[in-house]
Structure 1
């Protein structure tokens, strides 16, 4: 029987805290969402001043990264590169800022961030993940 790591409350809180520190160090008003490997939401933190829609967008980015096992930047690049037919795929959150959490080569979840430029969203997500890897 195979076994796998999972994100528990301790890891979720560590990711949220580290992501918040990264955002606050840069004076960014963001929301960070964490999903399990099936894309279901485990945690969400909307910082003061973050737009309400960032909660929905960050959760969608986390879900897409978890289900696809890819950074959401891949999809944004694909669409910007002219493959607009991909917009009809049954996914949301196709903008950079969703990053899978990999442990021992397995995706155990993902982090999605929304609120600033896409590459800055990804920076915050990766800072959060670094707290547990």
Structure 2
């Protein structure tokens, strides 16, 4: 038997706060999502003025990152991408329409070698989404380093 780690709402809220702070610092209206290891939304925050479409996109990015244990932008690189017919990412995107994101902004949350969830960021360009994602991941790493 092995130990299973879980992320909770209490874990997710500081990640949203870190993401919001970074988004505001760089002046981008974004939507931020944190999901658990099953791709279920734990917390979602749409900053004032963020696009309506960002909600579904952020959820899809978090779901994809958690479900496939990798950053979403990696699906546009070899060997799995780009997301065109004949490549893995294309097939998966066809099986999970509207849920599978293959562009920048989704990052897995890993604790003790296990995927415990994912974060999704939508609303900026790729560089901005990565910056906000990095802030959320840094907060997660800081929380994970605190002994329980």
Same fold (TM > 0.5): yes
Q: Does 1:87 align with 2:95?
A: no
Q: Alpha carbons of 1:2 and 1:82: their partners in 2 closer, same or farther (altered >3 Å)?
A: closer
Q: Does 1:130 align with 2:133?
A: no
Is the CA contact 2:5–2:116 (under 8 Å) kept in the aligned structure 1? yes
Moved over 2 A (4+): 76-79
How many residue pairs align between the two structures?
132
Task: Give the deviation of 1:9 after TM superposition.
Answer: 1.7
Partner of 1:104: 112
Is the partner of 1:109 in helix, strand or coil? strand
| Farther-moved stretch of structure 1 (41-50 vs 81-90) | 81-90
Task: Give the deviation of 1:32 after TM superposition.
Answer: 0.4
CA RMSD of aligned residues (A): 1.7
Provide TM-score, normalisation by structure 1: 0.91
